[in-house]
Each structure stands twice: as structure tokens, then as C-alpha cells.
Amino acid sequence: MPRVLFWLAVVQAVYYVLTGVWPVVHIRSFMAVTGPKRDLWLVRTVGVLVTVIGATAGRAARGGRITPEVVVLAAGSAAGLAAIDVVYVARGTIPKVYLLDAAPEAVLAALWVWGYLATR
């Protein structure tokens, strides 16, 4: 397994598990940073899904098996989350603090595409 893909998976795993677990275990501090929420069940659902994506990337790295499916999951989720952040900040639906998440998400997505293509 190429080292760049290994490290991308590790970084994304740590980032996703930490940010995914946060609203599940302490919604008050999460909302103190990101703003008030109406549908807490939805925030927690997204947190659980992000955690699962992170755990999957971490398990793939640990097992030395970064398959094309893992690359699609990792790059696609990062690109999708970045796009959601940017679009909904631009619409005024969510606060600008979400752009602090959009930046690393966009970088992760781009690095996954670059890393995958560079190692083929």
C-alpha cells in the first residue's frame, strides 16, 4: 500500500472519529461552537455516520488495504461534506464557522484524488 494513501486514511480517520463523536457525546459544546440546532437527532445521525466513515478509513489503513472503494468513500465523503459546508454557509443556513471544516475536507478530497492517481 502506498504510504501517501496510508497516511491520508489515518489523518481522515482521526479527524472524522473526533468530529463525528463530538456531537454524539457532548451536544452542548458542539452547539456552543457551531451554533444552535433544531433537529438534534439529525446532528447526532450525521455524527454517527462521519464516525463510521472515519473508522472504516482507519481500519483500511491498519489492515493495509486501501482499495478503490475506500478511496471513493474517503474522497467522496470529504468532497460532499465540503460542498455542503460551502453551499449552506453561502445561503446563510449555517454559520461561517463551518468553513473551518470545509477547508480540511476540500484538502482531503483533493489529496485522495491526487494520491490515488499518483500511485496507479
pLDDT, residue 1, reads 77
Q: Across the chain, what does the average pLDDT equal?
A: 97
**CA dist., res. 46 & res. 49, Å (int):** 5
Residue 85 in this model has a pLDDT that exceeds 90: yes
Mean pLDDT, residues 93-105 taken together: 98
Task: Indicate the domain borders of the chain.
Answer: 3-118
Residue 41 in this model has a pLDDT that exceeds 90: yes
Q: How confident is the model at residue 81 (pLDDT cuts 50, 70, 90)?
A: very high
pLDDT, residue 17, reads 98
User: What percentage of the chain reaches a pLDDT higher than 90?
Assistant: 98
pLDDT, residue 39, reads 96
The structure's pTM equals 0.95
